[in-house]
Chains A and B, each alone.
Chain A
Amino acid sequence: MSAPTQVIRSAPARRFDWVLLLVTLALCGLGLVTLYSAAGSPLQDAAPRAFRMQAIYMGVGLVGMLALGFVEPRVFEQAAYVVFGVVVVLLVLVLLVGPVRGGSQRWLPIGPVNLQPSELAKIALVLACARFFSQRPREDGWGIKELAVPAVLFLGPLAALVFVEPDLGTTLFLCFIFAGISFAVGLRWRTLAVVALLAALTAPLAYRFVLDDYQRDRIDVLFAPQADPKGHGYQAIQGRYAIGSGEVLGKGWRQGTQGRLRFLPEQHTDFIFSVYAEEQGFLGCLGALTLYFGQMLLGLWIAWNARDRFGSILASGVVSILFCHVCINLGGVLGLLPITGVTLPFMSYGGSSVLTMLFAVGMLMSVSMRRSP
């Protein structure tokens, strides 16, 4: 019994995670520099408004990240259900008072800022699941029956509220995060196989009966972008031109023609990586991907060394948020997955996205600062 006693007695080892901070700062820096080019006009040298706003968001986010980093993980554990409850209330408020834009209700106007609670839902889901799973270790892993409880309790309300906004993308995104956490806490391989098989079998049916026309179009474009080059395929084709034309070394910062001359819609939000790829080339992309995956591997390392189950699961959850974002965004931009409205962490323009990601990293930092010796 010596080891546990030692752990309990030892004072929290406060070791600041400089590597995680540097990687995150580097990603934020890349994002800001790319946004300056992507949101700017070729005829004006002034810093674009989006750049200035993003810099402010990032400043606020970084401060929040550091603050969260110095909070005890135990506090997160205790506050997990409260946070979950608050987010649920916010999501209900969105549906009650949120303005309708583009056919959906996703934002809560708070003063000059538009809050997007569905972004916070990702963090709330991770927190609630971390607390739930940390107190229920199962040696024989989790099956569908056992997972039904957290799924109904946590994923259910969030996913349902986001789904009726409607925001199918984020709904699926929450499901992916839940799946990621389930995998991390010991989802049975057999269950995983069954769910994967079921998903593969029902996908064509969902394509036929569940998806809207525009969603079907996006899937069609994935397989045949040239079928409608001026319409549905435009974004995919122009994105491909942008990325490909960057070649090995890139065209240079603010020299990308596809992005600068507005051939790319959504170039400063969801498609910002194609601007980056055009201007920085393959080598630049290699660097950026290394940073992203390095950050995720750091997250896994933190989970590995976490002092307790909550911290470990929380870290895994944050990694799964980052992973889903990077994979789905880059998959869409590179033409491997259908194009969805998922942002690229630290690069895409948008306050809610930037704050959510930085707060998530802040929680990762908090776990890291109290890791096992």
Chain B
Amino acid sequence: MRIEDIALSLRGDGRPRDLRSRLAATAVVLMLVFAALLARLWILQVVDGETYAELALQNHLKQREIPAPRGAIYDAHGQRIAEVRASFDLMVAPDDVDRAAQAPEQVAGALGGPPETPWELEPRTDIATLAARLAPLLDGGDPDALVSAFEESRKASRWRPALLRADLTGAELERVLANRPWLPGVAVVSRHRRSYPQGGLFAHLIGYMREVRGEDLERLQRRDEGTDRAGWYSPGDLIGKFGLEAAHERWLRGRNGAYWVQVDALGRELGRSAGGLPGDDYFESIAHFLDRDVVPEVAGHDLHLTVRQDLQARAVELLGDQSGAVVMMEAQTGRVLVLANAPVFDPELFSRPIDTATWAALRDDPAHPMVDKALQGVYPPGSTWKMLVAAAALGSGTWNEETRVSCPGYLKVGRRRFHCWNRRGHGSVRLKEALKGSCDVYFYKAGLAAGIDTVAEYAAMFGMGEPTGVGINGEGGALNPSTAWKARRYKGNPRQAVWTAGDTASAVIGQGYTLATPIQLARMTAVLANGGTLHRPLLVDRVVGPDGQVVMRGEPQIMGEVDLSPQHFQAIREGMFAVVDEVGGTARRQRLKELAFAGKTGTAQVVRLGASNAQRHKDHAWFVAFAPYDNPEVAVSVLVENGEHGSTAAAPIARELFELYFKDRIEEARAAGTRIGVPPAASARSALAEAPSPTAGLDAVPGLLPEELR
């Protein structure tokens, strides 16, 4: 440093050369920091840029669902029995409501008159005021309930609209819309809702839907992982939980569509993809980072059933306030025409939150309205089992149709007396008379002669002891007992495991261990009618896609053939015909002049097990039948719980269903004076049988005929 500079520096003037070394050092520091910042930017934007771009995309693009309408369900004649309709739900977005609640005395409940000027109406208000204004517009509206529904929803999400009232009635909708100016922030949103136009008529068959639960959701996600069904369900969705809704969930549920919305940091929707519609300026403007497409929704498939609404309605009507079930099917195909239960329930009850009182009432009802008795109810079949015993005795060659048995009113098996329901005895009977009068002694002896395992073998051929395979509602298999079964059942208790002659005597008249479901008995009757072909009961005729294409057709499916000669089938059918058609038959009162049909009554003792002394209830009433007698078309089984007598409680229901099913032909026959279903050769015999038969004994005396047999 020169002396001059220092001198100048001391005066505070002159070129500050002494500072220059530090300025150079500072410049170096600046360049280093510049390089460091640039390096950092390089890492963030160039090296990791793609990662951050994707993260930012996830930040602001959210997928929203377009709900797909569920498939409809039709009866055999195209009547809608399950459909999707629009429901109008009352929503309010928390964002559009003032946070600060007003003091109760300031809440403006009354609605104003027509606004004088638009400025009179506030752009937004608080929830207490909204609730006070909404409550009088809704049927049974309670302001406090509306406020708490809103608060609940806001706790879950502060921007998702809160549901204040689902499914507004037409009148409510009108009132809300008319008062919209006073209801800032309130919106009416249309959504799909499952509805059942026939009410509870098909409740157990169609089933119901419930909100999918957490564990179901996880299970479904595991199951569908990697398939095109992945992600089909999200919380809040409804899923079929019972009946066809559950069994055919895959067909009925459509595929939800999706669109993308741009949301801001608060989750508010700013714009949505419109699926490449021209003029979607907003999304075109962000298209460079929007490579995701709109997925259109696909409606569910429609089910066309084999059941008939008219027959089903009649069956339910005839059951009335009794508890019971009716199954009717085509004898030659297994197509189910009626699958009715009583009492019914309202299937729509379950698609929204159900209150505990309603649920408890349904659950604890002694008539068990939630149980599908036709498929899940296992009952002692009573005398309807006797045809199977007859098939076993004839088919095994033990007896023939002419074998005679003398019925003194009881049979001593071991040291125990087994009574005939008719304590005075049926006298000497062959198979036909035994079926007609439902002689217990005949079948005790037939069963003992053939042996329980032969009976079980033949019963199995008729589909007993196994679910019929109808495919819904966790169908029961019931019980077709045999020595092997009992040995298995009481394994480890050798004394009880031995099958006794007494067990056989009980089992062959459909008591004791023997159990069956109404649908099993309907199918058994169909097999008797068609001469030995065991069909799988068929419910769905066809599945139709949203484009109208039939994607699946329900074809009759043969599950087995009964190894029994046509003559033996005919012998059993003749006995069943006599039950209805001949004097002394247990269901003689149901005889139709224009239609010949055959049937069999049954009465099942109900014993409550576990009570100190077996407590007896009123018997269950059964009736199985097919029609016409010649060339049978339909088979039916009717169960009336605690109906006491098959002939009075159950048989009339079957007869009325036949009258409806054959309505046109019956009228024709009445006009022509002919009879449907009578084989030409049998006409003479049947006419003969109308005269008092010397063998009919006491049964033939009108007035002395007891109402029921066992």
Contact = CB atoms under 8 A, between A and B. Distances in A.
Q: Which of B45, B266, B286, B289 has the most CB of A within 10 A?
A: B45
A1 B38 contact: no
Given A244-B52, A282-B46, A308-B13, A251 B289 contact: yes
Given A241-B55, A286-B38, A309-B9, A246 B49 contact: yes
A316 B48 contact: no
Contacts of B60: 257-258, 261, 263
B30 A137 contact: no
A134 interface: yes
B491 interface: no
A186 B23 contact: no
Q: Which of B18, B262, B286 has the most CB of A within 10 A?
A: B18
B interface, over-half SS? helix
A289 B51 CA distance: 24
Interface residues of B, number: 54
A163 B6 CA distance: 39
Interface in A157-210: 183-186
A184 B279 CA distance: 61
B559 interface: no
A20 interface: no
A248 B55 contact: no
A307 to B, nearest CB: 7
A343 interface: no
Contacts of A330: 37
B289 A263 contact: no
Contact of B12 (A43, A134, A263, A327): A134
Given A4-B4, A137-B6, A261-B262, A289 B23 contact: no
A304 B26 contact: no
B30 to A, nearest CB: 6
A316 B26 contact: yes
Given A184-B23, A244-B49, A251-B289, A297 B16 contact: no
A38 interface: no
Contact of B34 (A1, A289, A306, A335): A289
A95 interface: no
Contacts of B684: none
A258 B262 CA distance: 11
A261 B270 contact: yes
Interface in B39-58: 40-42, 44-46, 48-53, 55-57
Contact of A183 (B7, B15, B22, B262): B22
B12 A277 contact: no
B139 to A, nearest CB: 38
A42 B270 contact: yes
A318 interface: no
B19 A245 contact: no
Interface string B1-34: 1001011111011111011101101110011011
Contacts of B266: 262
Given A186-B19, A241-B56, A246-B49, A4 B8 contact: yes
Contacts of A269: none
Contacts of A244: 44-45, 48-49, 51-53, 55-56
A261 B264 contact: yes
B669 to A, nearest CB: 77
A7 B14 contact: yes
B111 interface: no
Nearest to B11: A135
A244 B56 CA distance: 9
Contact of A139 (B1, B57, B285): B1
Interface in A282-323: 282, 285-286, 289, 293, 296-297, 300, 303-304, 306-313, 316, 319, 323
A336 interface: yes
A272 interface: no
Contact of B6 (A42, A139, A304, A336): A139
B214 to A, nearest CB: 23
Given A244-B48, A247-B45, A262-B266, A183 B4 contact: no
A327 B33 contact: yes
B263 interface: yes
Given A4-B4, A308-B13, A262 B264 contact: yes
Nearest to A315: B23
A42 B60 CA distance: 13
Interface residues of A, number: 63
Contacts of B52: 240-241, 243-245, 247
Given A7-B15, A327-B33, A255 B56 contact: no
Contacts of B55: 241, 244-245
A61 interface: no
A372 interface: yes
Contacts of B40: 334-336
Interface in A7-61: 7-8, 42-43
Contacts of A137: 6, 9-10, 18
Contacts of B285: 255
A296 B32 CA distance: 13
Contacts of B264: 42, 261-263
B689 interface: no
A336 B56 contact: no
B16 A313 contact: yes
A87 interface: no
A281 interface: yes
Interface string B284-327: 01101100000000000000000000000000000000000000
B59 interface: yes
A3 B270 contact: no
Contacts of A285: 38, 41, 45
A308 B16 contact: yes
Contacts of B550: none
A306 B16 contact: yes
A155 interface: no
A16 to B, nearest CB: 21
B44 A334 contact: yes
B36 interface: yes
Contacts of B49: 244-248, 282
A36 B262 CA distance: 21
A242 interface: yes
Nearest to B53: A245
Contacts of A7: 14-15
Given A139-B1, A185-B22, A247-B53, A258 B59 contact: yes
B467 to A, nearest CB: 53
B265 interface: yes
A281 B37 contact: no
A323 B30 contact: yes
Contacts of A307: 14-15
B46 to A, nearest CB: 6
A309 B59 contact: no
The 5 A-B residue pairs whose C-beta atoms are closest, nearest first, are A244-B52, A247-B49, A245-B56, A261-B264, A312-B16
Interface of A: 1, 3-4, 7-8, 42-43, 134-135, 137, 139, 183-186, 238, 240-248, 251, 255, 257-258, 261-263, 277-278, 281-282, 285-286, 289, 293, 296-297, 300, 303-304, 306-313, 316, 319, 323, 327, 330-331, 334-336, 372
Interface of B: 1, 4, 6-10, 12-16, 18-20, 22-23, 25-27, 30-31, 33-34, 36-38, 40-42, 44-46, 48-53, 55-57, 59-60, 262-266, 270, 285-286, 288-289
28 contacts: A42-B270, A137-B6, A183-B22, A183-B26, A241-B55, A241-B56, A243-B41, A244-B52, A244-B53, A245-B57, A246-B45, A255-B285, A257-B286, A258-B56, A261-B59, A261-B263, A289-B34, A296-B30, A300-B23, A308-B12, A308-B13, A308-B15, A309-B9, A313-B19, A319-B26, A330-B37, A331-B37, A334-B41
Given A1-B4, A183-B26, A282-B49, 15 more contacts: A137-B6, A137-B18, A186-B22, A243-B41, A243-B44, A247-B50, A261-B60, A263-B59, A286-B38, A300-B30, A308-B13, A309-B14, A310-B12, A334-B41, A334-B44
